[in-house]
Chain A
Amino acid sequence: GQQLNQSPQSMFIQEGEDVSMNCTSSSIFNTWLWYKQEPGEGPVLLIALYKAGELTSNGRLTAQFGITRKDSFLNISASIPSDVGIYFCAGQLTQGAQKLVFGQGTRLTINP
C-alpha cells in the first residue's frame, strides 16, 4: 500500500535546541497532518495543511505542505521537556478520501 517515509526515526537533543523532521512520498497528497502521541495516549492533532506551499504555525511548531505535494516538514523551535513523544505525519491521497496514510513516526527524546 501507500507509504510515507518519515525521518528521522528518532532524535536525541538537548533542551532548547530546534527540531526538524519530514515526510516524503512518491505519491501526491491532498492533505498533510502532523500528530503527537505520548505513551499510552492517542495521537493529538498538531497542525493540518490543506494547500501546496502552505506554511502554518502552532506556537513553537511550524509545518509546511511541500510545493510538489509529495512532502511535508515539521519544525519545533526551542524544545522543552514536554515536547518528548512520538510525532507522526499523515497524508490524505485525494480530496474526500477517507483513509489516512501514516508515517512510521519520529521518537523525540530531550535531555534537560
Chain B
Amino acid sequence: GAVVSQHPSRVICKSGTSVKIECRSLDFQATTMFWYRQFPKQSLMLMATSNEGSKATYEQGVEKDKFLINHASLTLSTLTVTSAHPEDSSFYICSARGRGRADTQYFGPGTRLTVL
C-alpha cells in the first residue's frame, strides 16, 4: 500500500508557541491531503482539505488562522498550530489521496501534540 509519513510523531510545547507538523507521501504524488483531529476514544474529525497549489478548505468550526495549512508540493503538506493552547492538545493525523488512487485515502501515523 501507499506510504504516508508524519513528523514529528509527538511534540510537547509551551502555551503560546507555534508547532508545525509535516505530512509526506513517500511513494506517490498526493493531489489532495487531509488533516484530521482525533480525541480519545472518538472517531476522526476532518479539519481541512488541501489541494496542491491552492488554499485549503476548512471544515465548519475550524479556525483557519489558528490551523495554517500549506500544500506546496505533491508530496508535502504542513499543518501549523499557531499560538497553541492546552485545548489544542490532541492527536493530529494526515491522509493523502493521489493520482491513480483517486478514491482511497492513506493515513499517516499521526502526531501527538501536548500543549503545557
**A88 and B43 contact, CB distance less than 8 A:** yes
Known contacts A40-B110, A42-B6, A42-B109; is-contact A30 B103 (Cβ 8 Å)? yes
**Cβ 8 A contact of B49, one of A43, A96, A98, A103:** A98
Q: Which size bracket describes the interface of B in this complex?
A: 20 to 34
What's the nearest-Cβ distance from chain B to residue A105, in Å? 5
**A92 and B103 contact, CB distance less than 8 A:** yes
**A48 and B104 contact, CB distance less than 8 A:** yes
Bits for A80-112, please: 1 = Cβ < 8 Å to B, else 0: 000000001010100110111011110000000
**Cβ 8 A contact of A41, one of B44, B105, B109:** B109
What's the nearest-Cβ distance from chain A to residue B29, in Å? 16
**Which of B6, B105, B110, B112 has most A Cβ within 10 Å?**
B105
Bits for B74-116, please: 1 = Cβ < 8 Å to A, else 0: 0000000000000000010101010000111111111010000
Name A's interface SS: loop
Select from chain B the residue with minimum beta-carbon distance to A46: B1
**B107 and A96 contact, CB distance less than 8 A:** no
Name B's interface SS: strand
What's the nearest-Cβ distance from chain A to residue B80, in Å? 19
Bits for A1-44, please: 1 = Cβ < 8 Å to B, else 0: 00000000000000000000000000000110101000011111
Interface CB pairs A-B, < 8 A, 20: A31-B104, A33-B105, A42-B6, A42-B95, A42-B109, A45-B106, A45-B107, A48-B104, A88-B43, A92-B103, A95-B103, A96-B102, A96-B103, A98-B32, A98-B49, A98-B97, A99-B34, A99-B49, A100-B46, A105-B43
